[in-house]
A and B are shown apart, each in its own frame.
Chain A
Amino acid sequence: KAGVTQTPRYLIKTRGQQVTLSCSPISGHRSVSWYQQTPGQGLQFLFEYFSETQRNKGNFPGRFSGRQFSNSRSEMNVSTLELGDSALYLCASSLGGLGDGYTFGSGTRLTVV
């Protein structure tokens, strides 16, 4: 079956711009989580959506937002980009039950210049 699809794979943006990243989970998975990965901080939890509702949120500023559609596809948006937002953004899908674990997409590499 198809895996988790993230688009685009690479992005270069200028400070102050905004960006939207997309994630299509595995068919049947209703939970989508977003993580930011940087060499110094590792994987940092952004938020998790389940059935179009945000269930959990990490400690990121309000410039980071997301949403989930009825087909479980999810988008995350970062407004007013800063240099420190340069990172690999990973989306993970899950059935949401104990022990199900995540399946990660290939990620979107965002570079802010």
Chain B
Amino acid sequence: QKEVEQNSGPLSVPEGAIASLNCTYSDRGSQSFFWYRQYSGKSPELIMFIYSNGDKEDGRFTAQLNKASQYVSLLIRDSQPSDSATYLCAVGPNTDKLIFGTGTRLQVFP
């Protein structure tokens, strides 16, 4: 079993819809959870982090964490074509050793 699992996609959603990206992890001791966005040919950039159960909102992005079920998700509201990218979930006991999933490719079509 991989430590951090994501569906590779592609996840295709129409412009203006909600995109839902999911991630599961195996280490129950994980404390920090991050979502990164990576455009093709670019390096990953941090979108959000969450470390408490529940929801955390930042603009059009909402991260959701459920430690009991060991999953973390990212919702993107009002999806735009510019959101088309690969979204990486990263999990760690803290920040000094983050384990990344292989990413979900999101395609937002006009």
Contact = CB atoms under 8 A, between A and B. Distances in A.
Interface of A: 31, 33, 35, 41-43, 45, 48, 50, 55-56, 90, 94-107
B100 A104 contact: no
A96 B103 CA distance: 23
A98 B51 contact: yes
B96 A50 contact: yes
A97 B102 contact: no
Contacts of A43: 44, 88, 100
A55 B96 contact: yes
Task: Determine the main DSSP class of B at the interface with A.
Answer: loop
Contact of B46 (A35, A45, A102, A107): A102
B96 A106 contact: no
Given A31-B95, A42-B101, A42-B103, A99 B51 contact: yes
A101 B49 contact: yes
B96 A45 contact: no
A101 B88 CA distance: 13
Contacts of A95: 95
Contact of A105 (B32, B43, B97, B103): B43
Given A99-B32, A101-B49, A106 B43 contact: yes
B96 A96 contact: yes
Contacts of B34: 101-102
A99 B95 contact: yes
Given A94-B96, A97-B94, A101-B95, 19 more contacts: A31-B95, A31-B96, A33-B97, A35-B100, A41-B102, A48-B97, A50-B96, A56-B96, A94-B95, A98-B31, A98-B51, A98-B94, A98-B95, A99-B32, A101-B49, A102-B44, A102-B98, A103-B46, A104-B45
A42 B98 contact: no
Residue of A41, A48, A100 most packed against chain B (CB within 10 A): A100
Contacts of A56: 96-97
B95 A102 contact: yes
Nearest to B46: A101
